[in-house]
């Protein structure tokens, strides 16, 4: 019965997504919803950027094991990213009227920089979207009481997300996310209230967590520990700024004010509401410590779903799994669309300058299909946890893409040579250290960031000034004439 009710909810979500597809008339509608989304839609989408499988299943399990110290990247780093993007990056990028973040790198630098960083951004999504697909597989496995394997669940979930993302694009992401955020907030608050009562009250849970040191978040004085702490924070806080999914949510806003404040308030809201699944998971240590101990040894991501199935009334199970499916689907749809759009606009279109708007829309939809299959296969083949997949996703963009974006927006000496050095030295340093230095000895992406900044500064003073400067009103809509500057 529970499984069928969840299937019915999924069917409603798909119906909403397909209805949203009726608003798609061109590539601009598909990619940025015609830049016509109101504040509440943008707020909901920004909130959903990371409130997915990682928050409900990944970091909640990590909190039981490591406390706040294990969550520096998410939710702290993720929230800082969204607030920084809203207050610092949203306004100048929105004014440029671009279609993708990759377009910025071409307008500000050159075609080579656009291709290199677009590829880096696309690769970074493999782990992120894969984490959502893995979570869908886990949920279907739990709901079917093992009848559906996790791998089968991955492909079922991928198919569902694909259907409404394929047809409706950003309009589907916006409409389904708005409805799903209502379900998430109300559902998780209700289930958490029940769990708090079962655990002996909110004070009891919080007191126990504090006594066990779970609220300590600062690193120890050990040099390696401090470096790891800083790397975890910056990887998410800065490495996820040059990402298409964050950019496309901001860029879909109806106006500049909504772009700034929808993103900023969405980031703040995410930070505080992320505490709800943490409390919910930790209450399990009081309700059934033996169950928690068993799953900590097997798969800690199963603690929360098992708590709900084993101890909650049927209505609460329906609410929780409806909310869980909502958070995963809303995150997965946006993050599936982002790399697909980047591929069609910034890779394919450069080799097909005469591509019409209709052809761009078709290529983007084909890319959505291809990427969906790719991440589903990745999700069933990897042994990494959801939390680890997400943490790994932003290393390449921190090392190679953040410096060209930030310096390109705010440093007038940023030029093509600087961008090239930043990319080659940043990503090169990261790769060498990642491949040849034992894990834990260094933080490769952090060294990559430092070397990338060094390369940009050297190039800025040695090379010629760039002739391309970002400015307000740069029109780069998906129209037949929008690539005449290539």
CB atoms within 10 A of CB 368: 25
pTM of the model: 0.85
Per-chain mean pLDDT for the chain:
86
CA diameter of the chain: 68
Mean pLDDT for 125-131 is 80
Residue 178 in this model has a pLDDT that exceeds 80: yes
User: Structure tokens of 324?
Assistant: 């869980």
Express each pLDDT in 412-471 by its tens digit. Answer: 999 999 999 999 999 999 999 988 887 666 789 999 999 999 999 999 999 887 755 555
91 versus 74: which is more confidently predicted?
91
Confidence at residue 163, expressed as pLDDT on a 0 to 100 scale: 87
Which range is most confident: 93-107, 185-199, 279-293? Answer: 93-107
301-356 residue pLDDT tens:
788 888 888 888 888 888 888 877 877 887 788 888 999 999 999 999 988 888 89
Concatenate the DSSP letters of all residues of 129-178 into one string: HHHHHHHHHHHHHHHTTTSS-HHHHHHHHHHHHHHHHHHHHHHHHHHHHH
Q: Which pLDDT score, from 0 to 100, does residue 482 have? A: 44
- Tell whether the model's pLDDT for residue 408 goes beyond 80: yes
Q: Buried (b) or exposed (e) across 126-145, using 16+ Cβ within 10 A? A: bbbbbbbbbbbbbbbbbbbe
DSSP 222: -
pLDDT in tens, 30-51: 989 889 999 999 999 898 877 7
Compute the distance between CA of residue 5 and CA of residue 243 in angstroms, rounded to an integer. Answer: 35
Domains of the chain: 2-462 (1.20.1730.10)
In degrees rounded to 5, what are phi and psi of residue 253? -65, 150
Q: Give the three-state DSSP class for 358.
A: helix
What span, in angstroms and rounded, lies between the C-alpha atoms of 304 and 328?
Answer: 15
Q: Provide the percentage of residues in the chain whose pLDDT is more than 90.
A: 39
Structure tokens of 107?
Answer: 């307008």
Q: Which residue blocks in 50-149 are alpha helix, DSSP H?
A: 53, 59-66, 78-84, 90-95, 101-108, 111-143
Q: Is the pLDDT of residue 260 over 70?
A: yes
| Least confident interval from 64-68, 298-302, 398-402 | 298-302
- Listing DSSP states for 186-210 in one string gives HHHHHHHHHHHHHTT-HHHHHHHHH
């Amino acid at each position: 019965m529970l499984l069928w009710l969840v299937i019915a909810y999924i069917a409603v979500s798909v119906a909403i997504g397909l209805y949203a597809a009726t608003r798609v008339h061109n590539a601009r509608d598909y990619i940025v919803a015609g830049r016509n989304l109101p504040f509440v839609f943008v707020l909901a989408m920004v909130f959903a950027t990371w409130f997915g499988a990682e928050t409900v299943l990944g970091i909640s399990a990590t909190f039981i094991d490591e406390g706040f110290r294990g969550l520096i990247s998410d939710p702290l780093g993720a929230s800082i990213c969204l607030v920084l993007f809203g207050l610092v990056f949203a306004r100048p990028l929105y004014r440029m009227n671009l279609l993708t973040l990759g377009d910025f790198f071409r307008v500000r630098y050159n075609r080579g920089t656009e291709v290199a960083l677009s590829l880096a951004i696309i690769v970074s999504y493999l782990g992120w979207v894969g984490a959502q697909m893995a979570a869908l597989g886990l949920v279907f496995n739990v709901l079917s009481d093992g009848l559906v394997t996790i791998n089968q669940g991955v492909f079922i979930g991928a198919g569902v997300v694909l259907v409404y993302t394929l047809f409706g694009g950003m309009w589907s992401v916006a409409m389904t996310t708005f409805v799903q955020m209502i379900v998430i907030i109300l559902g998780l608050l209700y289930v958490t209230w029940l769990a708090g009562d079962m655990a002996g009250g909110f004070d009891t849970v919080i007191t126990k967590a504090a006594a066990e040191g779970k609220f300590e978040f600062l690193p120890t004085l050990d040099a390696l520990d401090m470096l790891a702490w800083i790397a975890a924070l910056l990887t998410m806080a800065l490495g996820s700024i040059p990402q298409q999914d964050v950019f496309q949510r901001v860029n879909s806003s109806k106006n500049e004010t909504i772009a700034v404040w929808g993103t900023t308030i969405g980031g703040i809201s995410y930070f505080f509401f992320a505490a709800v699944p943490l409390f919910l998971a930790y209450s399990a240590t009081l309700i059934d410590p033996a169950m928690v101990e068993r799953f900590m040894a097997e798969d800690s991501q199963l603690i929360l779903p098992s708590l709900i199935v084993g101890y909650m009334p049927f209505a609460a199970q329906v609410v929780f799994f409806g909310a869980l499916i909502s958070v995963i689907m809303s995150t997965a749809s946006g993050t599936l669309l982002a790399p697909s759009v980047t591929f069609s606009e910034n890779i394919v279109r450069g080799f097909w300058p005469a591509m019409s708007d209709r052809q761009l829309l078709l290529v983007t939809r084909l890319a959505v299909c291809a990427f969906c299959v790719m991440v589903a296969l990745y999700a069933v083949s990897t042994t990494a946890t959801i939390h680890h997949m997400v943490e790994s996703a932003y290393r390449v963009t921190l090392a190679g893409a953040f410096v060209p974006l930030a310096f390109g927006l705010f440093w007038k000496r940023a030029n093509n040579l600087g961008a090239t050095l930043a990319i080659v030295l940043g990503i090169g340093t990261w790769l060498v250290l990642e491949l040849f230095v034992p894990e834990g000895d260094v933080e490769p992406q952090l060294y990559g960031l430092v070397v990338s900044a060094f390369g940009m500064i050297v190039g800025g003073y040695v090379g010629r000034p760039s002739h391309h400067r970002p400015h307000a009103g740069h029109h780069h809509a998906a129209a037949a004439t929008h690539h005449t500057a290539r």
